[in-house]
Amino acid sequence: MSEIEKPEVLAVFNSYPSVMRQKLLFLRAMIFEVAQEDEDSSPIEETIKWGEPSYLSKHGSTIRIAWKASKPNQYALYFHCKTTLIDTFKELYSDVFTFEGNRAIMFNESDEIPVDEVRHCISMALNYHRINHLPLLGA
């Protein structure tokens, strides 16, 4: 997994409860792995948007990951609400994920992460501007 280089990103991760920090770092690692496997998605820019670790690729839509004190047993992958990403994910994976409106895939603390499905969603987000014209984003 790539090291967190920006102090402001590291500070946000360090502000999360230990258990949630580990779960979010797992999601972060998946984002970097998916990008590395798809040379068109790499490199990934890691930054802070809306106070949350955020990941951007040249041809993609921003992915954010976060834990919120208002939902202490949950954490999430957030996507831009004006895209068709969540609608597509719902069409493909309504039996796999829990969604928050048109902006997030939610996970409970005790959930086992469906890695293949999450990786597929990350890939679509990292390539969104190249595939947004395709039915179901080319899935």
> Which of 102, 16, 103 minimizes the C-alpha distance to 64?
103
Count of CB atoms within 10 A of residue 52's CB?
17
Say what the pLDDT of residue 24 is. 97
Say what the pLDDT of residue 130 is. 87
The answer to whether the CB of 55 falls within 8 A of the CB of 48 is no
Q: Tell me: the pLDDT tens digits for 29-43?
A: 999 999 999 877 668
Q: Tell me: the pLDDT tens digits for 32-86?
A: 999 999 877 668 999 999 999 999 998 999 999 999 999 999 999 999 988 999 9
Domain ranges of the chain: 13-129
Burial status of residue 65 (CB atoms within 10 A of its CB: 0-12, 13-18, 19 or more): buried
The reported pTM is 0.93
User: Looking at the DSSP assignment, which residues form a beta bridge with residue 67?
Assistant: 75
Q: Does domain 13-129 have CATH number 3.90.1150.200?
A: yes
Per-residue b or e along 84-98, where b marks 16 or more CB atoms closer than 10 Å to that residue's CB? bbbebbeebbeeebe
Pairing mode of beta strands 98-100, 63-67: unpaired
User: Looking at the DSSP assignment, which residues form a beta bridge with residue 64?
Assistant: 54, 78
Tokens coding 70: 């208002």
